[in-house]
Amino acid sequence: MRRLELVVTPADQGERLDRFVAARGAITRGLARRTLDAGGVFLDGRRCKVAGRTLHPGQKVTVNLEEGGRGAAPPRPLERSRLLYADADLVAVDKPSGVPAQPTLTTDRGTLPELVGALLGAPVTIVHRLDRETSGVTVLARSKRAAAALAEAFRTGAPHKTYLALAARPPAPAEGRIDRPLGKDPSRPGLRRVDPAGDAAATRYRTLRASPLAALVEARPETGRTHQIRVHLAALGAPLLGDPRYGGPRRVGEVAIPRVMLHAARLELAHPVTGAALVFEAPPPDDFRAAVAALVPPPAQG
């Protein structure tokens, strides 16, 4: 990866971000726009995809370019068994935990589009993002028409998403609908909080089973806000295990929690071109199942 570290000077006051990156980075404006779209541009340490964002003196712009040699070791390939569906317009995969959906501030290697593109031998476009630590079903577009249709579908909340979450304690009440707007947390960059002035966000949930140590919860978000399930369940006093940023512990007794315990188990949506109903499912991975078995075992039979 080639990285550019740029500082906005007084002469750059009011300049558009895409033009600034192209001019100061000595790259084409087309490459600047593609890098913005891919999530490779960070403004004062926070990802920014708004090409027309106006700049002010003193701001710092970091640009991660795929061109110019990446240098890092190749990422581990995605196993073909994780391919759930593929046609000319759409691909569905079971994303492993730890795989980012888009470039980070430190690297552009090993993103889900890169791994899926390598598996299929053709580029794909991310349209539905899961957090890096979240595992499970996600879809990517293989054509421009599918990308546009899928982006609109997720924007309007048309797909039905079902997640499994392992919480530190049962939410109260045990079943219901959380309707709490979410906004950026100004005191913690990159995180979200319940904010009456934020974006509308709603999640339906039900407790599948619980123990004194944890609770297995099914969550069905009606909107697609960043960290939505994590923030909503934490707001009910049930933060996800392995999620210390929202109050969830990394250890319960002798059980170490390896990551944020959230898994995208099922996704229902209309095909972006044909309109056919599609349903994709992915079983929880080993780390999730092991934590559930240790902390929320099913009731004894007999």
DSSP per residue over 229-278, as a string?
HHHHHHHTT-PBTT-GGGT--SEETTEE--S--EEEEEEEEE-TTT--EE
Rounded CA-CA distance 67/258 in Å is 34
pLDDT at 66: 64
pLDDT of residue 10 exceeding 80, the answer is yes
**131 carries an active-site annotation:** yes
pLDDT of residue 215 exceeding 70, the answer is yes
Q: What is the pTM of this model?
A: 0.78
Percent of the chain scored above 70 by pLDDT?
Answer: 93
**What's the CATH superfamily of 2-65?**
RNA-binding S4 domain (3.10.290.10)
pLDDT, greater one: 105 or 279:
279
pLDDT at 232: 98
pLDDT at 29: 79
Place of tokens 């390939």: 77
Domain 80-156 annotated CATH 3.30.930.10: no
pLDDT of residue 165 exceeding 80, the answer is yes
pLDDT of residue 300 exceeding 60, the answer is yes
pLDDT at 105: 55
Rounded CA-CA distance 281/219 in Å is 15
Rounded CA-CA distance 206/165 in Å is 10
Fold match flag (80-156 vs 161-265+286-295): yes
Rounded CA-CA distance 126/139 in Å is 7
Rounded CA-CA distance 140/94 in Å is 11
Q: Distances from the Cα of 60 to the Cαs of 4, 182, 246, 287, in angstroms?
A: 10, 27, 28, 39
Tell me the torsion sign for CA atoms 89, 96, 153, 269.
positive
Residues 118-149: pLDDT tens digits?
999 999 999 988 999 999 999 999 999 999 99
Domains of the chain by residue range: 2-65, 80-156, 161-265+286-295
Residues 23-72: pLDDT tens digits?
888 788 778 888 888 788 989 888 888 888 999 989 999 888 764 334 44
Residues 231-250: pLDDT tens digits?
999 999 999 999 999 999 99
Percent of the chain scored above 90 by pLDDT?
Answer: 67
Mean pLDDT across the stretch 6-29? 86
For residue 72, how many other CB atoms are within 10 A of its CB? 12
Rounded CA-CA distance 94/294 in Å is 24
Please provide the average confidence, as pLDDT, over all residues in the chain. 90
Mean pLDDT across the stretch 88-111? 83
Mean pLDDT across the stretch 261-285? 97
Fold of 161-265+286-295: Pseudouridine synthase (3.30.2350)
Angle between the 29-37 and 17-25 helix axes, to the nearest 10 degrees?
120
Q: Point out the catalytic residue in the list 131, 185, 199, 286.
A: 131
Lowest mean pLDDT among 27-31, 103-107, 172-176, 207-211: 103-107
Place of tokens 């002798």: 254
* Three-state secondary structure call for residue 64: strand
